[in-house]
Amino acid sequence: MTEFIALQYNVFVVFLYVGVGLGFLYDIIRCFRRLIKHNIFFVSIEDICFWMMSAIVVLHEIQIYNNGELRIYILLSGILGFIVYHYTISCVFVWTISYILLLVKKTVKKLKKMLKKQVKEGRIILSVRRNR
């Protein structure tokens, strides 16, 4: 009996990690959305793809760790992992990554603008080699 309980405990812990992983993946999508503005159509497509992939991951992990038997504690542990991640690390992660990506985006814009100005002023000459 204790071996069975230990197995269930291990499955519970695995699905806590699965929930955290899915939360992390969704935060990456959120950072991408902050970097590049989307309309509602593309947000919906991204969400549908995320949930389809999440379902595949969860079903795959259930098949591997619990021989395909769906139990309520498995789903609850995945949801718990997602919620714990969301209310602890998520806001700091999204803010930090979004800030870094926006700084990179602004820097690239400035460099592009400076390069364009240099080309326009003739300081950088872009020439095509002519065959004589």
- The closest alpha carbon to 54, from 71, 73, 33, 29, belongs to 29
The tokens for 32 are 């991408």
pLDDT surpasses 90 at 96: yes
* Alpha-helical regions (H) of the chain: 2-35, 40-66, 72-85, 91-121
With a threshold of 0.85, does the pTM exceed it? no
Residue-wise pLDDT for 35-73, tens only, equals 888 899 999 999 999 999 999 999 999 999 888 888 899
Amino acid, res. 110: K
pLDDT above 90: percentage of residues in the chain: 63
- Cα end-to-end distance, the chain, whole Å: 88
